[in-house]
Amino acid sequence: MSSGATAQDDTWKAKEQGDEARYIREKEQAQLAEIRNKSSTDQKTANSRDDIEGGYGGQEDLEDRYATTSGEH
């Protein structure tokens, strides 16, 4: 069989297409796993930042009724 005939062989073509499809699927799964890991890491980081920036137990919006009248606060 010459190299031109191999390209015309349907069995060989189907095998090659199957291999390519499997490779693409594996790459996509790896990329998706990477995105999920990054997303969960970003979410954990965001949650920890919220804890720091969130004030004192959600009381940061309360009015300070005991503020001094001289502007010292």
35: number of Cβ within 10 Å = 10
Give the model confidence (pLDDT) of 12-24 as tens digits: 999 999 999 999 9
Q: Which residue has the tokens 């009248």?
A: 69
Residue 49 to residue 51: CA distance in whole angstroms: 5
Percent of the chain at pLDDT above 70?
51
Q: In whole numbers, what is the pLDDT of the chain averaged over residues? A: 75
Q: Where are the domains of the chain?
A: 10-36
